[in-house]
Amino acid sequence: MSLNIAVIGAGIMGLSTAYKVMKDIPNCKVTVFFDKCSPETTGNVAAGFIYPYPCGRPYADGQDEPKLFGWFEKTMDWLKVLYKNPDAYKMGINPVSGYIMGGAVPEYATKLFPDFREIDPKAQSAFMIPQQPGHTFTTWQCDCSKYLPWLMDQIKAMGGRFIRHHINAFSDLKDFDLIVNCTGINANFITNDKKMQPDRGQVIVVKAPWINHFYISGTDTYILPRMEEVVLGGTHQVGDYNLKENPEDTKKIWRECLKICPSLKYGEIKEVRVGLRPGRSAIRIEVEEMDLDGKTVPVLHNYGHGGAGVTFHWGCAIEASDALQTYLKKIKKTKNSSELSIKDIIPMVNAVTLSCQSKL
Ligand SMILES: Cc1cc2nc3c(=O)[nH]c(=O)nc-3n(C[C@H](O)[C@H](O)[C@H](O)COP(=O)(O)OP(=O)(O)OC[C@H]3O[C@@H](n4cnc5c(N)ncnc54)[C@H](O)[C@@H]3O)c2cc1C
């Protein structure tokens, strides 16, 4: 039996979930539907800094810490495996060291940074512009401008299809055996999930190859190097859907980051980006049986990762794939498995297939 699976979303959650499900469920057919793919996703706005920013709204309420730790740990392990591959550069995976000043670091996170320690005040006064006390550690950067196209290539190599097509409602996909919902902030609309709220983030992308360390100061100001550029942030504007640049935010980000690294003045500003962190009181990973025009179709949700979707993505993709397999085993026990298979799927060939900038 070959399961016909529709994934909605080509952001980091849709792609990592599609990839993991294809690895775990032999012979499944996967079609990824999306409005936006790299370089247009929320992950492309993100610095891709692997750090368990509080997620949940208000922060961390409703999300239990052992789960966060598990997702974080699995992602750290996965990136370590990828880094050993010579293609890690093409995937956008690289270690980065630096400083976090002010603000509390979650205790569980410190366990996964082997060199996590307080910044030596002498080193701080020798090498840094005066700052609040803080911590130093090494982590991964996962640059989505490289990582997402790599994931798309892997999915295509396994036979996955990509269709740029807006899904108005789950019932559009009722002829698939399964639907995977990785719609980021749009989960708000497609599921009518009142727990979702956007957390608007604006960043300035700068070419400044001499900036090799990360600097995070308080909750909003950060300088985070990616493979080819440096991301300066930022903002956290809860409830704000505006995807246009706010010039006042740009001025504030520039001013605050220059206080930490004055030489950024010589950085070449490439662009200002805005993204909506998909805020939710807790990340939602579960299978829901939906009645779609009289037909019961399981929908696997994996959304609501707030400001830490890159950090938790692989752990969440594993949990989502596990949830799907548990569901499939359960219904196999209760039903004749042949009922699951819908051989004649809706002919999606009519869907508008547009080429995507990331070399689909
Ligand atoms: C400024 C900023 C900085 C950040 N920095 C970091 C960081 O350093 N580290 C970190 O871990 N995280 C960071 N994040 C958070 C991280 O980027 C997000 O948690 C993550 O990208 C969310 O991924 P996603 O796949 O759920 O959503 P998205 O990337 O938004 O993808 C959603 C996908 O669903 C598709 N879609 C939605 N609805 C439909 C529909 N109806 N029909 C068809 N397609 C649909 C979209 O087109 C898109 O392909 C940051 C976010 C921002 C905004």
b (16+ CB within 10 A) / e for 168-199: eebbbbbbbbbbbbbbbbbbbebbebebbbbb
Ligand 1 centroid to Cα of residue 42, in Å, is 4
Torsion angles phi and psi, residue 301, rounded to 5 = -95, 140
pTM assigned to the model: 0.92
The confidence score (pLDDT) of residue 131 equals: 74
Torsion angles phi and psi, residue 276, rounded to 5 = -110, 110
The confidence score (pLDDT) of residue 109 equals: 82
Atom of ligand 1 nearest to the CA of 190: 41
Digit-coded pLDDT (tens) for 342-354: 333 322 322 333 3
Atom of ligand 1 nearest to the CA of 306: 19
DSSP 8-state secondary structure symbol assigned to residue 49? B
Which residues does 335 contact at the CB level (< 8 Å), separation at least 6? none
3-state secondary structure of 97: strand
61 has a pLDDT exceeding 70: no
DSSP 8-state secondary structure symbol assigned to residue 103? S
Ligand 1 centroid to Cα of residue 207, in Å, is 23
> Which residues, listed in sequence order, are joined to residue 207 by a DSSP beta bridge?
268
The confidence score (pLDDT) of residue 220 equals: 86
For the chain, what is the mean pLDDT? 89
Of 55, 186, 223, 316, which is best to mutate to test ligand 1, by the most ligand atoms within 8 angstroms of its C-beta?
Answer: 186
- Spacing of C-alpha 246 from chain mean position: 23
- pLDDT band (50, 70, 90) for residue 108: confident
Of 100, 277, 316, which is best to mutate to test ligand 1, by the most ligand atoms within 8 angstroms of its C-beta?
Answer: 277
Torsion angles phi and psi, residue 13, rounded to 5 = -75, -45
